[in-house]
Amino acid sequence: MVEFMLVPAYYKEEVSLSKEALSALGNKKNVAIFASVQFIKLEKVIAQLKEAGIKVISTHGKRTSGKYQLLGCDCFNNSFADNGMFNEIDAILYVGDGMFHPRALLLAQKGIGKKVPVILYDPISKRTKEIKFTDIEHETRRYRANMLKYLSARTIGVLISVKPGQQYLKLAIALKEKDKDKQVYLFIDDTFNFASMENFPFIDVWVNTACPRIGYDDFLNMPRPLVNINDALAPEEALRKCS
């Protein structure tokens, strides 16, 4: 048997906020903080926020073990250890580079009344940027249209990954048993080539059971509508969140 060791690689330098980042948070009183795993040693950042009179709400994604750690799949209201987080905060501070992780924090705000901005701070480039839920509203409207197409579709293709942590065959079978009025086909693979989906023109709508970000990010470039399995199983709730 092959043994695996997961060894996190932390950023060597001390992570601290720039004056610009502190200024962007200047009028915020309660802030939740998240980071990608290499930047989760945030002692200096926490001290800076407290010195600025900002209360830090500490939480993390339910699938993570590190304090403040965020995964790209933490894109649901209930993805966090503190499910009431959004009611407590004025903003979210994300420490890291790229847009994949902070976009998850916007997607997690679907369907809740109070929307808060996400302040991005890149500790390498020292750049600060603010993103808001309005930045993804176009995608949520498109996704809602896909959900409506799913409800009226007659033939469904369900994508099932065999990757560890992304294999949800039981949910696919549950969907097949639930939607008796639809013809449901199961497609199982390790890695999906979305261009090959054009080889199955009889599929009206695809359902993704792998990483949920496929359904929320990649669907814009797919030849047929695609929705995530959790939304296909509870379509009315999904439509409410996208309205």
pLDDT in tens, the chain (243 residues): 678 787 878 899 999 999 999 999 988 999 999 999 999 999 999 999 999 999 999 887 877 777 888 888 888 777 876 667 888 899 999 999 999 999 999 999 988 888 999 999 999 999 999 999 999 999 999 999 999 999 999 999 999 998 887 888 999 999 999 988 899 999 998 888 888 889 999 999 999 998 888 888 887 778 899 999 999 999 998 898 887
Tell me the C-alpha distance between 70 and 79, whole Å: 10
138-242 and 19-131 share a CATH fold: yes
Rg (CA), the chain: 20
Cβ neighbours for 23, distance < 8 A, ≥ 6 positions apart: none
Query: What is the distance of C-alpha 158 from the center of its chain?
Result: 20
Q: What gap in Å lies between CA 176 and CA 160, rounded to an integer? A: 13
Q: What strands lie across the sheet with 183-189, from one edge to the other?
A: 183-189, 155-161, 205-208, 226-228
Domain-wise residue ranges, the chain: 19-131, 138-242
Q: Which pLDDT score is estimated for 82?
A: 67
Tell me which H or E stretch contains 223.
none
Superfamily designation of domain 19-131: Diphthamide synthesis DPH1/DPH2 domain 2 (3.40.50.11850)
> Could you give the CA distance from residue 77 to residue 37 in angstroms, rounded to a whole number?
21
The CATH code of domain 138-242 reads 3.40.50.11860
Cβ neighbour number for residue 112 with a 10 Å cutoff? 13
Sign of CA dihedral 218, 219, 221, 224: positive
**What's residue 189's pLDDT?**
87
Residue 173 pLDDT: 93
